[in-house]
Amino acid sequence: MLAIYLPSPDAAQRWFMKSARVVCLAFSVALVVSACGGKPKNRVPLEEAKPGRDLELFRDGVTAIRKGSYDQGRMLINTSINTYPDSPMIRVAKLTIADSFYLEGGGKNLAQADVEYNDWLQFFPDDQLAVDVMMKRAEIHMRQVIAFNRDTTHARQAERQLKEILKLHPTTAKKPEIESRINEIQEFLAMHELDVARFYYERRQSAQAAQLRTEEILNKYPAFSRFDEALFLHAKAVSDQEDTETAAQDLTRLVINYPRSEFREKAEALLKKWGKQIPQPDPAKASEAPPEGKGLFPRMLGLVFGPKVSNISSKGVIVDRDKQVDEIVARAQEVSGAAKPVGAITPGAGTTTNAVDSRPRRTGEAGQDVVVKPGSSSSSPPDQKSSSKDKDKKKNGNSKGLRNPGQ
C-alpha cells in the first residue's frame, strides 16, 4: 500500500520562508550584476583641448542655434567656454548664449536672456558692443508689451533701459534710434494713463483720480499725440473741483497750441462760459499740416486698438538667422579681435591666439611648460663646462685632504 507523506504545518512554513529568502537573494544578486555590467551608457565625453577647437565648437554652436537646436548650440558653446577659458572668443561666446535665449523666445527664455545680457555687461561694461547689448535688454521688455490697457511693467522697464543708454553713452551713434524708441514707449505709456483717466472720469465720476492721471501725461509725456485730449480732460476734472483758473489755463493752452484739435470748439465754449478771454491760435501751429493719424478714421482705430510697439528686432547681438554661419563667425572673430588661423597652437602655451608659438620647448610631463635655452649642438654649453671644472677642483681638493701629512 502506497503511503503519502504530508508535512506538518510548521515544516511547510519553514520551507516557504527558506524558499522566499533564496528568491530574494537571487533577485538582489541579479540587480547588482545588471547595475555593474551590461551595455555601457552613453556618456558625454570630456572635451580635450586641441588647436583651433574653440573656433570649431563656436561654429558648430552657431549652426545649431540657426537651425533651432538651441539646447545643443548652448551645450557646444559652453563646452568651448569651459575648455578654452583664455580663448579670445570668450566674450562673443557668452554673448551668443544670451542670443540663443533671445531668439528662442517665450517668457522664461526672454527672462533668462535678460539675465545673461546683464551678466555680460557686468564683465564688459565698456565693450564696443555694450550699447547693442543694452538695447537688446530694452527689446526684451518691448517684445512682452501686450496692449496699452494691460500691465505696463515691461514698457516702463524698456523706457528705463533706453534712458540708461543715453545716460552712460550720450555720444553713441545710435542716439537717434534710441530717442525714437523712447518716444514710441512713452506714447504707449501716455495712452495707458489717458485710458485710465477716461475710465475714472466717465464711469466712476472720480474727478480727482482723472486729474492725477492726466497730470502724469502733462508732466512726463509732452510729445504725446493726444496731448490736446489730456489737456481738455484735465481742465474738465479740475473745473469739477471748483478750480476754474487752472482749467482756463489748460484750455487756453489747448486753443493756442492745438488749433486743429477736435476739442478746440469745446474749449472755447467753456472759456466763454467762464468769462475768460478766448486767445488766438498760434499762426505757426495753424499752418502746420495735421499730424499723421489725426484723421477721424485713424483716431477711431486708435481708440479701439491703441498704439503698438513696433520695429522690434528679431536678431541677436551676434547671431542673425538671416546671415550664413561663415558671416556670423567672421563678424564674431572681428569683434573679439581674434586673429585668423595661421598655425597650430602649442599645447600648454600661455597664448590664446592661433599664431605659431616660436618658443623652443621640450616635452615633459602633463602640465609642464619647460623653456629650453638656446645653445650650440657642436660644443657643450658653458654651464656644463663650468660644472665640469668645479667637479675637477673638488676632486683635487679631496685628494689633497687625504694625503699623508708626513709626505
For residue range 196-243, list pLDDT tens digits in order. 999 999 999 999 999 999 999 999 999 999 999 999 999 999 999 999
Query: Phi and psi (nearest 5°) for 61?
Result: -65, -45
Mean confidence (pLDDT) of the chain: 79
Query: Phi and psi (nearest 5°) for 144?
Result: -100, 5
Mean pLDDT across 340-355: 41
Mean pLDDT across 257-283: 93
For residue range 64-103, list pLDDT tens digits in order. 999 999 999 999 999 999 999 989 999 999 999 999 999 9
What radius of gyration, in Å, describes the C-alpha atoms of the chain?
40
For residue range 99-108, list pLDDT tens digits in order. 999 999 999 9
- Give the chain's length: 407
**What angle is formed at CA 248 by the lines to CA 203 and CA 243, rounded to 5 degrees?**
60
Mean pLDDT across 263-281: 94
For residue range 29-65, list pLDDT tens digits in order. 666 655 555 444 444 445 566 778 899 999 999 999 9
All domains of the chain in start order, with CATH: 49-130+314-340 (1.25.40.10), 184-311 (1.25.40.10)
pLDDT at 235: 97
pTM: 0.67
What distance, in Å, lies between the first and last C-alpha atoms of the chain?
Answer: 123
